[in-house]
């Protein structure tokens, strides 16, 4: 039902090249989280938590950290790194979210760049909501490849990467209707961030490489455009509070 658009081996290869890092203070996703998510001392669960940069932000907000991911290292390496920074730790499991039978409610459930990798993204959103406790929070963000400018650039220069993202999932207006119907109150919803553009590794012809170099050189100037515009903002996200049970 929730057919996956990208294999786990893709993520494993990506993370072999990276390392654990806390999101920089100027990162738009960190600014968005800190501006609209209340501090708390309850349990936070991130779905697709590896390599932990987002969890660290919630650790700084006071939450006890829990994670679910299929990437090797999620049960040992990641909590060891988070623990070194003094964050309170809960449970970290190497499990498939689609088949996991977790039913304990959490005070905050979040994911970043996760939901849009599924054909049936709505069922993934409902699975998130199923885990949120009464008076708990749902925090979700995905990249915005749906906006006209972003979609055009990815289609021309990053098509292989575009194909593993479901642009239908990048619609905060639809998210809002779904979560309200499940007993949530919207705190923040929409597109955000100054213009930015990134691509995945893939073969490109000489013209594509030339255009990509030109876009990358223009990014410092394009970042001066007004932020939070759906046509070209790099992210979209939703923060909501469960205020009552399901209808």
CATH at residue 237: 3.40.50.150
Asked if residue 210 is part of any domain, the answer here is no
Q: What is the pLDDT of residue 8?
A: 66
pLDDT for residue 125 is more than 50:
yes
Q: In the chain, which ranges are continuous DSSP H helix?
A: 8-16, 28-36, 53-60, 77-84, 121-130, 148-157, 159-163, 172-181, 206-222
pLDDT for residue 129 is more than 90:
yes
Asked if residue 150 is part of any domain, the answer here is no
Asked if residue 42 is part of any domain, the answer here is yes
How does the average pLDDT of the chain come out, rounded?
92
More confident residue, 148 or 5: 148
Q: Structurally, how many domains does the chain consist of?
A: 1
Asked if residue 12 is part of any domain, the answer here is yes
CA–CA separation, 217 vs 147, rounded Å?
A: 21
Asked if residue 151 is part of any domain, the answer here is no
Region at 198 (left for phi over 0; alpha for psi -120 to 50; beta for the rest): beta
Instruction: Give the pLDDT band (50/70/90) at residue 3.
Output: confident
Asked if residue 224 is part of any domain, the answer here is no
Asked if residue 115 is part of any domain, the answer here is yes
- Tokens 């639809």 label which residue? 174
Domain that holds residue 185: 8-145+166-195+229-242
More confident residue, 199 or 5: 199
- Going by the DSSP 8-state scheme, the letter that residue 4 receives in this structure is B
pLDDT for residue 1 is more than 60:
no
Q: Which CA distances in Å does 90 have to 54, 63, 93, 103?
A: 15, 10, 10, 15
Asked if residue 23 is part of any domain, the answer here is yes
pLDDT for residue 151 is more than 50:
yes
Mean predicted confidence (pLDDT) in 196-220:
95
């Amino acid at each position: 039902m929730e057919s996956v658009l990208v294999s786990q081996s893709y993520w494993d290869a990506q993370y072999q090249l990276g390392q654990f890092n806390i999101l920089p203070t100027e990162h738009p996703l960190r600014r968005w989280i800190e501006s609209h998510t209340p501090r708390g001392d309850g349990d936070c669960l991130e779905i697709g938590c590896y390599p932990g940069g987002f969890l660290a932000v919630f650790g700084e907000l006071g939450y006890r950290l829990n994670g679910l991911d299929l990437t090797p290292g999620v049960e040992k390496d990641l909590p060891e790194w988070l623990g070194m920074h003094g964050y309170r730790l809960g449970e970290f499991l190497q499990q498939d979210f689609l088949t996991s039978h977790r039913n304990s409610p959490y005070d905050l459930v979040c994911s970043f760049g996760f939901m849009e990798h599924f054909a049936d993204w709505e069922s993934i959103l409902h699975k998130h909501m199923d885990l949120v406790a009464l008076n708990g929070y749902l925090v979700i963000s995905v990249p915005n490849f749906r906006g006209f400018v972003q979609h055009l650039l990815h289609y021309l220069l990053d098509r292989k990467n575009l194909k593993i993202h479901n642009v239908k999932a990048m619609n905060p207006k639809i998210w809002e209707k779904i979560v309200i119907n499940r007993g949530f109150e919207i705190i923040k919803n929409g597109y955000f961030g100054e213009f930015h553009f990134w691509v995945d590794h893939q073969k490109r012809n000489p013209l594509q490489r030339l255009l990509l170099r030109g876009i990358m050189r223009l990014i410092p100037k394009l970042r001066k455009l007004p932020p939070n515009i759906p046509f070209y903002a790099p992210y979209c996200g939703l923060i909501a509070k469960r205020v009552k049970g399901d209808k």
